Structure 1
Amino acid sequence: MSTADDTQKTKDPEYLSTLERGLRVLNAFDADHPELPLSEVATITGLSPAVARRCLHTLLELGYVGKNGRRFILKPKVLEFGSAYLHSMNLEQVATPYLQKLRDQTGDSSSLAVLSGDEILYLVHVSTERKIRLGASVGTRFPVHATSLGRALMAYQPDSVIDAYLDTVELRKFTEHTITAKAELEKRLRKIRQQGHDSAQDELDYGIVSVAVPIFDTNRQVVASVNCSTSTTRVSREKLIEERLPLLQDAAIEIELALKKWPFLANSLRG
């Protein structure tokens, strides 16, 4: 089904639809679909089998896709795209040192994420040796509504963005504590704006507790969020907020100051 955005893109003489189709094919692969036959690629992407086949064979020739019998699979070369972003944007200098310090201070994992549609996308993750049921790494995506990182990001979006999100999002239930009512989520987002942080316990998976704060650019526009997360067996939600929130807020300030030196990174994160 065509959308207004699709129509606008087709009117743009600079828009290269063949590139868009190729990227759509790459995005068809995920944890649930590591290998795909041509027919499923066509179904997932909404492309005709002929177009999907041409895209796949081009990507195969370029080394981004491989073949296992009649099924296609991503090749490690696709990591070049993410590597180019991470290296060019200096995230290692801007965010990682402060999240590492936070990890060392608290013993908790710490992450920085950005908004990507109805999901958050992890750009930096500093882990501990403590294992939790639901791990994360650079490139991990989780739904906005079930994470403190996501809600801390969404709460400070323009009202028009929040309204559009609430109108279209499907609030999937992960546990009995996941917010699945849009009115409740809207109320939570308003509360986050007032208090400046959000927390979550057993919402995305059982046994995980976290607290998150937003990251702002020099224009006070939210560009990312950072968190502390750990196991509920280590600390209660109340204790996490009491002990970790001040340290997390300090880390956020340091990252915001660092962003002033790298304005192109702030522009990139803002999307």
Structure 2
Amino acid sequence: MARAKTSDKEPEYLSTLERGLSVLRAFDQSRPEMQLSEVAAVTNLSPAVARRCLNTLVKLGYVAKHGRRFLLRPEVLAFGWSYISSMNLETVALPFLQAVRDETGDSSSMAVLSAHDVLYVAHVSTMRPIRLSANVGTRFPAHATSLGKVMLAFQPEEVIKDYFAKASLTRFTERTVTSPKDLRNLFAKVREDGYASALDELDYGIVSVATPVFDRERRIVAAINCSTSTTRISLEELIRAHVPVLRRASSEIQTALARHPYISRSLSSD
């Protein structure tokens, strides 16, 4: 997990806070428990600094220690809940995502662009099984998702250039598009069509379609999607049946965001 370069830091920058947050972010599904040496390796911190961060977080109740191993405590959920409650997403997004789910029968989500990933900020699930489930806080590589393609397609050129310069365009299946040239061509089509789709790109058996959500200045701040199994519906039928529903929901969310401009500012990647 890379840390900010010293040259990038401003006088008001708190390196100690950065280190503490990097320790919290080091834990994930593949690393639910770690020893001190593992935390230091993941965060690129010295063992002494990692130990001080961990001990502080243990004292504050965000990390638990069992023997030589550390793990997160439920208290860290307070950070995510503070965001969800303060941004009023239950009013702004969830009713429209629920309407999409009820009309289509498929799960619906809203996500933002976070570095090189899509980050889910609202989600309404369905009872239908899907290979890769998503919840609020889930992250997926942007280039392999319909949500990511939409959000990248409508970014300013400097953001797209920076993305290609820094992102790791991993190939997850034989259908994953990893060529910057091919992705740029896809982005142009997304801007023309007003939606993006993905078929077997993040994993086999998953098909999805997404539409953009803009603020009052027509800057993209988020995207919403429907995703389901390829055994249930073809990509062509998904686009035909779901894109109009998603476009209507995007428009309704945009209207709601216009009444709460602080939410647009929060969702924006600027």
TM range (shorter): over 0.9
Q: Does 1:94 align with 2:89?
A: no
Structure 1: gaps spanning 5 or more residues: none
With over 3 angstroms needed to count, the CA separation of the structure-2 counterparts of 1:141 and 1:89, relative to structure 1, is same
The Cα of 1:64 is off from its aligned counterpart by: 0.2
Q: Does 1:257 align with 2:220?
A: no
Residues of 1 paired with 2:198 and 2:50: CA distance?
41
Structure 2: gaps spanning 5 or more residues: none
DSSP 3-state at the match of 2:227: strand
The CA deviation string for residues 235-270 of structure 1, in whole angstroms up to 9 with x for no partner, is 110011111101100000000000011111000000
1:32 alignment partner in structure 2? 30
DSSP 3-state at the match of 1:27: helix
Aligned 8 A contact 2:105 2:126 in 1? yes
Residues of 1 paired with 2:123 and 2:174: CA distance?
27
The Cα of 1:182 is off from its aligned counterpart by: 1.8
The Cα of 1:207 is off from its aligned counterpart by: 1.1
Equivalent runs, 1:144-163 vs 2, <5 Å:
144-163=142-161
The Cα of 1:3 is off from its aligned counterpart by: 8.2
Residues of 2 paired with 1:138 and 1:6: CA distance?
32
Residues of 1 paired with 2:197 and 2:110: CA distance?
15
The count of residues paired between Structure 1 and Structure 2 equals 269
DSSP 3-state at the match of 1:47: coil
1:135 alignment partner in structure 2? 133
1:8 alignment partner in structure 2? 8
2:108 alignment partner in structure 1? 110
Query: Stretches of 4+ moved more than 3 A in 1?
Result: 1-6
Equivalent runs, 1:9-88 vs 2, <5 Å:
9=9, 12-88=10-86
Computed over aligned residues only, the root mean square deviation of the Cα atoms, in angstroms, reads: 1.4
The Cα of 1:59 is off from its aligned counterpart by: 0.1
The Cα of 1:68 is off from its aligned counterpart by: 1.8
The CA deviation string for residues 34-77 of structure 1, in whole angstroms up to 9 with x for no partner, is 11111111111111111110000000000000012101100000
The Cα of 1:6 is off from its aligned counterpart by: 3.6
The Cα of 1:175 is off from its aligned counterpart by: 1.1
2:204 alignment partner in structure 1? 206
What TM-score do you get using the length of structure 2 for normalisation? 0.97
DSSP 3-state at the match of 1:225: strand
DSSP 3-state at the match of 1:66: strand
Identity %: 58
The Cα of 1:8 is off from its aligned counterpart by: 2.7
